[in-house]
Chains A and B, each alone.
Chain A
Amino acid sequence: MVLEKAILAIITLNGNSVGGGAPIFICETKKELESVAANLEAITDGIAHALSDELFIIVKH
């Protein structure tokens, strides 16, 4: 089976709100959150999507 989309990473300010298989990055500040997301986006060739202000996911399309 080929997965067309996959969540490659989760970046969050609140570690309690997430769990599961993807790597989770817990950040302290909103600024840190955005810079981690920007870096991961570039590294993984994915897109950073915002689910809420404090929760970003990197998705491979």
Chain B
Amino acid sequence: MNEYTVPIIFGVLVGTITRMLMLRTDYRQYPTYLHGKIIHISLGFIAASLGSLIVPAILEKEYTAVTLLTVAATQFRDVRNMERNTLNEIDGYELVSRGKTYIEGIAISFESRNYLVILTAFVVTMVYILSNIYLAAVAGIICIIVSKILMSGSTLKDIVEIEYHELHFEGAGLYVDNIYIMNIGLPERQEEIRKYGMGFVLKPMDMNTVSTIANLGQRQAILHDVSISLGVFRDSGTPALTPLIKRDLDDGRIGVFILPQVRDIAKAKEIIGSVPVLESAIKMPSKSKSHNRKEH
């Protein structure tokens, strides 16, 4: 035992706890309980150890030891690959697939969470060595709160208005409000869709949102989340019963056609509202220079 042992252990502990707190298994059932979680807690432990070990290395003027962090970066990029591969593999067997954009979003967040763990462990160990355990504990709590804030993105209810609309047919064409969804030929299929289907229109609040919800990956994420939470009335080999989202080209609204097993309008609205806005789907045309240029 030397003067660094306890601070390192403390840093590793706080870092690992941060990882655990960021690891939620929710309606997505991802990461899978129990083995998926063990993988991520172990990786979080490794990340925390790396973060803690940097501090004594710097204090002992062993600067080359910092290059160890590059190994960490490589290691955690692999986490992203691992997540992406696993999710891609199983996506083909989902009744309503997640879509590549959603998978990428999950993979990115798994990688970045490990970096937050490194940072937490680093700060906590540093504060411990330079002051005492109490300040280190405070620093740990602040880091955990900051990580939580950094890790929570916005959800759809922040950027769109959700309205319920009855589905209707014009001839063989299925419509949500005035948005054409698809052509359903057979009367019995039409009957099923009238009975089990629900329609929602998402109205973008500003022009940034228009392109965000137009993103095909974002749309697939909505369908996937709704189907997970409310169930889906379909099976393999019934392509006519596929939930779909189509866009109104005039004003950028999107028409969501879903086939839930639980037909509860309020619940469905809530679930659509809490679909995460995918990082890669966010576009900010309002930040474009030419767009904002004032005409004189």
Contact = CB atoms under 8 A, between A and B. Distances in A.
Interface of A: 34, 37-38, 41-42, 45-50, 56-57, 61
A45 B187 contact: no
A49 B237 contact: no
Interface of B: 171-172, 182-189, 236-237, 239-240
Contacts of A37: 185-186
A38 B237 CA distance: 12
B239 A38 contact: no
A50 B172 contact: yes
Contact of A48 (B171, B186, B236): B186
B281 to A, nearest CB: 23
A34 B186 contact: yes
A46 B237 CA distance: 8
Contacts of B186: 34, 37-38, 41, 48, 50, 56
Contact of A49 (B172, B187, B188, B236): B172
A46 B171 contact: no
A41 to B, nearest CB: 7
Contacts of A56: 185-186
Given A41-B189, A48-B189, 20 more contacts: A34-B186, A37-B185, A37-B186, A38-B186, A38-B188, A41-B186, A41-B240, A45-B239, A47-B183, A47-B239, A48-B185, A48-B186, A49-B172, A49-B185, A50-B171, A50-B184, A50-B185, A50-B186, A56-B186, A61-B239
Question: Which of A42, A46, A47, A57 has the largest number of chain B CB atoms within 10 A?
Answer: A47
Q: Which 6 A-B pairs have the closest CB atoms?
A: A50-B185, A50-B172, A48-B185, A49-B183, A47-B240, A45-B237
Q: Is the interface of A mostly helix, strand, loop or mixed?
A: mixed
A57 B183 CA distance: 11
Contacts of B185: 37, 47-50, 56-57
Contacts of B184: 47-50
Nearest to B183: A49
Contacts of A45: 236-237, 239
A41 B237 CA distance: 9
A12 B72 CA distance: 64
Contacts of B188: 34, 38
A37 B189 CA distance: 11
A46 B239 contact: yes
A11 to B, nearest CB: 9
A49 B180 CA distance: 14
A48 B171 CA distance: 14
30 contacts: A34-B187, A34-B188, A37-B185, A38-B186, A38-B188, A41-B186, A41-B189, A41-B240, A42-B237, A45-B236, A45-B239, A46-B239, A47-B183, A47-B184, A47-B239, A47-B240, A48-B184, A48-B185, A48-B186, A48-B189, A48-B240, A49-B172, A49-B185, A50-B171, A50-B183, A50-B184, A50-B186, A56-B186, A57-B185, A61-B239
Contacts of A48: 184-186, 189, 240
A7 B68 CA distance: 58
A25 to B, nearest CB: 13
A34 B236 CA distance: 21
